[in-house]
Amino acid sequence: AQKVTQAQTEISVVEKEDVTLDCVYETRDTTYYLFWYKQPPSGELVFLIRRNSFDEQNEISGRYSWNFQKSTSSFNFTITASQVVDSAVYFCALSLVSGSRLTFGEGTQLTVNP
């Protein structure tokens, strides 16, 4: 069975600080996808990124960057120069290539204070 762990339940930072959200996963499969979703206070789930297990290249999108390390089974998410609008719950999730359903972590509540 798959498992995703987000050990940080809550993080609070001051605007403009950098913040990293940790994600550790477990699976016996060698091919899988990893995802990050954002859930703002309004409640919807917003897709941020999908990574393939066979591509360990890190990715940057504006203030967001993701560090995928197969050796440590981690897929960490960094927000640079955080803003108040980044306040949300962030979920890491895993899906096997052989299947389709997502296994979610518990989520990290990020609060960015002005």
Q: Which residues bind another protein (CB under 8 A)?
A: 4, 6, 9, 33, 35, 37, 43-45, 47, 50, 52, 91, 93, 95, 97-98, 100-107
Q: Least distance (Å) from another protein to the CB of residue 104?
A: 4
Task: Give whichever of 6 and 76 is closer to another protein, judged by the CB atom.
Answer: 6
Q: Could you tell me if 6 and 56 are in contact, meaning their C-beta atoms sit under 8 angstroms apart?
A: no
Q: How far apart are CA 59 and CA 86, in angstroms?
A: 18
Closer by beta carbon to another protein, 19 or else 96: 96
Three-state DSSP at 71 gives helix
